[in-house]
């Protein structure tokens, strides 16, 4: 590959893993950095920081000059925010700016980090790349990622940019402590004694990074590839965690109406206190919908090989235990 590669979002969880994968391949990697803190983070990994912002088109153009490939992994992933407009701007407008900058600089290929949430599969179905969208959104985050992907695909086709989309499910592994990883941490630390029966779909962070690279190298123009290593029910997850750590010792599964009521109470409390709380109606809707995705196309076509489920969970738990964030694995105890 001639010329440097640019990564947006390189100081984040997914973008950071992608940086490490590209650098390990011996590539010259630039990383867009909006802040000094982000610049230090990507430089520490070995990439060349380039100051810029996806909402600042001229800075994107400068960052992309001379680049053959751009990985656009920057984005905001949040639930229950009081004002979702900043997230909309970054995810939708920022993605459009990346396409426009790629046109201006003659980038050969753009890899867009979308989300499995953008599939919008109907309740009770398994999401695939060709699943019809249900026509409504579980959350403002899901809406922003769906509209961002549509903008990227439509603008790229119209403006002549070679783009491929990657749609990861919930990305987990060492280094993630926020978002959905909090559920895992709260479970093994006994801080989540109540659950509802649902499904979650997960991809190992290393597989996510590898899936991006393989999609760039072998993916079809205008195509999207779901990355999903496994789907597990919450009951199965509790059993696996107990086998690996002995925790959680007690968990009670409650009816779905209880979770809906809790979401409404928390959302009302957030409005009264003007605080962003960890639970709200859109978070409960997403939880109760559950997600089951089919990641086999990424295996068949680009050739991704997924990490086994237990290995992914073990890696994450071992990382947490080493930092005192979770109990040690049973086999590691005296």
Q: Which residues are known to be catalytic?
A: 141
- Quote the DSSP letter at residue 89: I
- Tokens linked to 231: 């789907």
Reduced 3-state DSSP string for 26-50: CCCEEEEECCHHHHHHHHHHCCEEE
- Tokens linked to 10: 């390189």
Which stretches within the chain are classed as H helix? 13-24, 36-45, 57-64, 85-88, 94-105, 140-159, 181-188, 205-218, 234-245, 256-273, 281-289, 296-300, 309-322
CB neighbour list of residue 298: distance below 8 Å, 6 or more residues apart: 211, 214, 215, 225, 226, 227, 304
Residue position matching structure tokens 């590959």 = 1
Return phi, psi of residue 192, to 5°: -135, 75
**Contact (Cβ atoms closer than 8 angstroms) between residue 228 and residue 202:** yes
Each as own residue / partner, the long-range contacts of residues 48-54 (CB below 8 Å, 24 or more positions apart, any chain) are 48/4, 50/6, 54/8, 54/90, 54/94, 54/95, 54/97, 54/98
Query: What CA–CA distance (Å, rounded) separates 35 from 203?
Result: 29
Within 10 angstroms of residue 4's Cβ, the number of other Cβ atoms is 19
Answer left, alpha or beta for residue 317, where phi above 0 means left and psi between -120 and 50 means alpha.
alpha
The alpha carbon dihedral of 16, 113, 203, 303 has a sign of: negative
């Amino acid at each position: 590959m001639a010329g440097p590669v640019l990564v947006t979002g390189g100081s984040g969880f997914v973008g950071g893993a992608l940086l490490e994968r590209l650098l390990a391949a011996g590539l010259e990697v630039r990383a867009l950095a909006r802040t000094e803190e982000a610049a230090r983070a990507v430089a520490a990994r070995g990439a060349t920081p380039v100051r810029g912002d996806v909402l600042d088109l001229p800075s994107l153009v400068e960052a992309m000059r001379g680049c053959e490939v751009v990985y656009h992994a920057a984005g905001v992933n949040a639930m229950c925010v009081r004002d979702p407009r900043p997230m909309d701007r970054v995810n939708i407008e920022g993605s459009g700016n990346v396409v426009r900058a790629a046109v201006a600089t003659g980038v050969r290929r753009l890899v867009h980090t979308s989300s499995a949430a953008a599939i919008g599969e109907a309740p009770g179905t398994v999401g695939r790349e060709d699943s019809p969208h249900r026509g409504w959104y579980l959350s403002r985050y899901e809406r922003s990622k769906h509209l961002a992907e549509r903008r990227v695909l439509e603008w790229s086709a119209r403006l002549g940019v070679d783009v491929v989309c990657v749609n990861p499910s919930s990305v987990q592994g060492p280094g993630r402590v926020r978002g959905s990883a909090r559920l895992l941490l709260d479970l093994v630390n006994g801080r989540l004694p109540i659950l509802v029966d649902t499904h979650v779909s997960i991809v190992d962070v290393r597989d996510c990074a590898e899936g991006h690279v393989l999609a760039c190298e072998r993916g079809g123009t205008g195509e999207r590839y779901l990355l999903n290593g496994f789907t597990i029910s919450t009951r199965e997850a509790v059993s696996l965690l107990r086998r690996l750590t002995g925790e959680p010792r007690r968990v009670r599964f409650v009816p779905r109406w209880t979770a809906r009521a809790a979401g409404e109470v928390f959302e009302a409390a957030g409005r009264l206190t003007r605080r962003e709380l960890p639970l709200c109606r859109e978070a409960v809707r997403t939880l109760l919908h559950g997600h089951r995705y089919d990641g086999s196309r990424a295996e068949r076509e680009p050739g991704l090989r997924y990490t086994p489920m237990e290995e992914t969970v073990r890696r994450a738990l071992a990382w947490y235990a080493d930092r005192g964030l979770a109990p040690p694995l049973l086999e590691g105890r005296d």
